[in-house]
């Protein structure tokens, strides 16, 4: 009798796990059957951002092109970046596709596609301070901001350990803090810094400190660990690279020099 009760309880424990795994554990099959791909993003140019009320950007068009190729509908969902891995594992989203940097630490919780763009973290300051902040040493004790749980946060820890660091909830917020004078510097993605700072941009009074070099990085799509999506999406990436689609999208968003071919 006791053995039967134990077996019954074990079955009850397995049922929710099987449901969470999409029945047969086939992540691509789960996505293909529901015919849509829920994509976790945050808003920042040039990857995913709104222009005249329409979501555009390199990753937006890249995702739309792959979804069209694979016969599923993309559904873009704004997420909290510092809980992205939890939302992915809980199937609130099917992937993270938003300038996601590949790191060894993230590989513990995320399965990455082939990389498609090169990137690096850069330091952004007010142009008026160009003669003040010229090196990592010059930022010692100064207030530096980066997005929580981002590659920028990791770069601050490894390269600007003597600065006074404060985390904020988005890369866009870091630029607002520097512009307002509530922070001396921000550490953000090069792709975003190129698109949003300098002459002719929203933050024309901010600039990149080119003398401060940080480790190079790569962007990839993030899926659940063990996901069967990897081969399907890697094959699609190769196809869009071969037929020139990736080059066209990269040129449109001025990212041609960072495209991995």
pLDDT (tens digit per residue) in 192-202: 999 999 999 99
Contact 219, 99 (CB under 8 A): yes
Q: Are residues 95 and 224 in the same domain?
A: yes
pLDDT tens-digit profile of 125-166? 999 999 999 999 999 999 999 999 999 999 999 999 999 999
Contact 225, 114 (CB under 8 A): no
Q: Are residues 206 and 224 in the same domain?
A: no
- What phi, psi does 222 have (nearest 5°)? -105, 125
Per-residue pLDDT band at 236 (split at 50, 70, 90): very high
Burial annotation 203-231 (CB, 10 A radius, 16+ → b, else e): beebbbbeebebeebbbbbbbbeebbbbe
What pLDDT does 215 receive?
81
Q: Are residues 146 and 212 in the same domain?
A: yes
What pLDDT does 20 receive?
40
CA-angle at 164, arms to 43 and 184, nearest 5°: 60
Q: Which domain holds residue 39?
A: 2-116+220-258
Number of folded domains that form the chain: 2
Q: Which two tokens stand for residue 227?
A: 């996901």
Contact 42, 81 (CB under 8 A): yes
Q: What is the CATH number of the domain that holds 181?
A: 3.40.190.10
Q: Are residues 126 and 177 in the same domain?
A: yes
Q: Is the pTM of this model over 0.85?
A: no
What pLDDT does 25 receive?
61
Instruction: Give bridge partners of residue 223 from the DSSP assignment.
Output: 111
Cis status, amide bond into 46, omega within 30 of 0: yes
Per-residue pLDDT band at 9 (split at 50, 70, 90): very low
Closest residue by Cα to residue 31 from 65, 60, 71: 71
Percent of the chain, pLDDT > 90?
87
Angle between helices 245-252 and 229-242 (to 10 degrees): 80
- What phi, psi does 218 have (nearest 5°)? -140, 145
Higher pLDDT, 162 or 25: 162
Number of residues written out for the chain: 261
Whether pLDDT at 12 is above 70: no
Detail the DSSP E strand segments found in the chain: 36-41, 49-51, 54-56, 73-78, 95-96, 111-112, 117-126, 143-147, 164-168, 185-189, 206-208, 216-219, 222-223
* Averaged pLDDT, 154-181: 95
Contact 238, 230 (CB under 8 A): no
Q: Are residues 13 and 94 in the same domain?
A: yes
Q: Are residues 227 and 106 in the same domain?
A: yes
Q: Are residues 25 and 146 in the same domain?
A: no
Q: Are residues 39 and 78 in the same domain?
A: yes
Sorted by sequence, the CB contacts under 8 Å of residue 172 that are 6+ apart come out as: 43, 44, 196
Q: Are residues 106 and 13 in the same domain?
A: yes
Q: Are residues 27 and 112 in the same domain?
A: yes
Q: Are residues 53 and 109 in the same domain?
A: yes
Taking CA atoms, 164 is separated from 47, 57, 156, 182, 194, in Å, by: 29, 33, 10, 12, 25
pLDDT tens-digit profile of 82-114? 999 999 999 999 999 999 999 999 999 999 999
Whether pLDDT at 65 is above 90: yes
Sorted by sequence, the CB contacts under 8 Å of residue 221 that are 6+ apart come out as: 95, 96, 97, 100, 112, 113, 233
Q: Are residues 33 and 151 in the same domain?
A: no
Whether pLDDT at 206 is above 70: yes
């Amino acid at each position: 009798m006791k053995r039967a009760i134990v077996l019954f309880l074990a079955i009850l424990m397995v049922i929710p796990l099987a449901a969470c795994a999409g029945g047969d554990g086939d992540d691509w099959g789960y996505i293909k059957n529901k015919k849509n791909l829920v994509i976790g993003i945050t808003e920042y140019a040039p990857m995913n951002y709104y222009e005249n009320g329409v979501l555009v950007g390199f990753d937006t068009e890249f995702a739309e092109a792959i979804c069209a190729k694979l016969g599923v509908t993309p559904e873009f969902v704004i997420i909290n970046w510092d809980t992205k891995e939890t939302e992915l594992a809980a199937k609130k989203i099917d992937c993270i596709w938003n300038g996601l940097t590949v790191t060894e630490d993230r590989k513990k919780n995320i399965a990455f596609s082939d990389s498609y763009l090169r990137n690096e973290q850069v330091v952004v300051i007010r142009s008026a301070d160009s003669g003040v902040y010229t090196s990592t040493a010059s930022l010692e004790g100064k207030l530096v901001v980066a997005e929580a749980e981002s590659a920028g946060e990791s770069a601050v820890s490894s390269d600007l350990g003597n600065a006074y660091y404060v985390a904020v909830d988005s890369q866009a917020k870091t630029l607002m803090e520097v512009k307002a004078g509530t922070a001396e510097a921000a550490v953000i993605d090069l792709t975003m810094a190129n698109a949003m700072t300098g002459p002719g941009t929203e933050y024309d009074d901010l600039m990149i400190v080119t003398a401060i070099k940080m480790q190079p990085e790569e962007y990839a799509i993030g899926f659940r660990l063990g996901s069967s999506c990897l081969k399907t999406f890697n094959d699609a990436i190769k196809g869009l690279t071969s037929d020139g689609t990736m080059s066209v999208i990269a040129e449109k968003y001025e990212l041609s020099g960072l495209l991995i071919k």
